[in-house]
Amino acid sequence: MILINLLPHREAARKRRKEQFAIYAVLAALTGAALSALVHTSVQARIDAQRARNTYLQEETKKLELQIKDIAGLQAEIASLKARQAAVENLQADRNMPVHLMGELVAKLPDGVYLVSMRQENQTVQLVGVAQSQERVSELLRNLNSSDWLAKPELVEIVSTVQTLSSKEQRRVSNFTVRAGLRRPETPASNGATHQPQG
């Protein structure tokens, strides 16, 4: 017996394809939504982690800035203390300078030379005096050149004049002005003791 299908099989196949397409479309949409949600969650997690890192870095930066301010304050305080220490050491070193200077001048002053005045300005000493001759002034300059307490003596002025000693006696003398720098004797680094000049 021969069976003949009189039902519209093409329409049924078309309907099945449409249903399959709809199912695939829904599955594709769901898969896309799931993937999109997964990507969004991953990106959001990374953003949150980066924000947390940024917040941590900002907090640590603030702490470091405070520490840097403290360090700068300590450095300024150390510099101030060093400056005070240097000032105290200079005062300590200069405390005995006049005594040593007077002793040095007594030792280096040649016969026939007399000092009238001595004036100190900062690290410079000016000597004004009278000498029996210009040769005596030259000898004074040579003596001061070898001094431990005076440096670079230079003749500022020398003037020959006549000095009246009594009503009958007059003598030719030289009025002079000498300038020299003050210096402290070298301090050996090995023992830290100050070299005392001999004279």
- Cα separation, 185 vs 42, whole angstroms: 77
% the chain with pLDDT above 90: 25
Predicted pLDDT of residue 36: 92
**Which of 37-41, 46-50, 96-100, 142-146 has the lowest average pLDDT?**
96-100
Task: Give the model's confidence band at 193: pLDDT under 50 very low, under 70 low, under 90 confident, else very high.
Answer: very low
Asked if pLDDT for residue 35 goes beyond 90, the answer is yes
Asked if pLDDT for residue 61 goes beyond 60, the answer is yes
pLDDT in tens, 122-134: 778 888 888 888 7
Asked if pLDDT for residue 195 goes beyond 90, the answer is no
Predicted pLDDT of residue 4: 66
Single out the residue of 97, 87, 109, 121 nearest to residue 184, CA to CA.
Answer: 97
Asked if pLDDT for residue 50 goes beyond 60, the answer is yes
Predicted pLDDT of residue 46: 93
Mean of the per-residue pLDDT values for the chain? 80
Is residue 197 a contact partner of residue 149, using CB atoms and an 8 Å limit?
Answer: yes
Average the pLDDT over 39-54 and give the result: 93
Average the pLDDT over 52-66 and give the result: 92
Predicted pLDDT of residue 176: 86
Asked if pLDDT for residue 74 goes beyond 80, the answer is yes
- Cα separation, 187 vs 167, whole angstroms: 54
C-alpha distances out from residue 104 to 25, 78, 131, 138, Å: 113, 38, 18, 17
Asked if pLDDT for residue 172 goes beyond 60, the answer is yes
Average the pLDDT over 15-33 and give the result: 90
- Cα separation, 112 vs 146, whole angstroms: 19
Beta strands across the sheet bearing 124-131: 113-121, 124-131, 170-182, 150-164
- Cα separation, 124 vs 151, whole angstroms: 9
% the chain with pLDDT above 70: 84
First-to-last CA distance in the chain?
154
Single out the residue of 133, 91, 87, 85 nearest to residue 111, CA to CA.
Answer: 133
Cβ burial 105-143 (10 Å sphere, 16+ → b, else e): beebbeeebebeeeeeeeeebebebbbbeeebbebbbeb
**Whats the size of the chain, residue-wise?**
199
| Angle, alpha carbons 163-137-172 (nearest 5°) | 20
Is residue 105 a contact partner of residue 116, using CB atoms and an 8 Å limit?
Answer: no
